[in-house]
Amino acid sequence: MNKTKEYVYEVSEQSTDTRYFEIVSDKKLTESEILDAICLPNISKEGDCEKDGGITSTFKWTDFGEDSQMEVDSGELKND
């Protein structure tokens, strides 16, 4: 039985995407509370809204950056 060789590539992609949120609270928030609040909504779904402890966080949209860079960590790449 022939075993097919697998090729595994570890890839990272970086860009300058900017995500926008609206956070509404019934109290003044600390920076840490704001960071927690932006983790509430699903960032793959524009308009997603989640509530927790008097805080409502809405993911509004992502402004996708134009200068993404990719790095591939592998010694076996197929030539184009």
Query: Tens of pLDDT along 45-65?
Result: 999 999 999 999 999 999 988
Q: Which amino acid is at 73?
A: D
Q: How confident is the model at residue 4 (pLDDT cuts 50, 70, 90)?
A: confident
Number of structural domains, the chain? 1
Give CA–CA dist 37/48, Å, rounded: 13
Give CA–CA dist 71/80, Å, rounded: 17
Does the residue 1 lie in any domain? no
pTM: 0.69
Does the residue 36 lie in any domain? yes
Give CA–CA dist 48/42, Å, rounded: 6
Does the residue 70 lie in any domain? no
Does the residue 71 lie in any domain? no
Provide the pLDDT for residue 75: 67
Provide the pLDDT for residue 80: 67
pLDDT at 8 over 70: yes
Provide the pLDDT for residue 71: 78
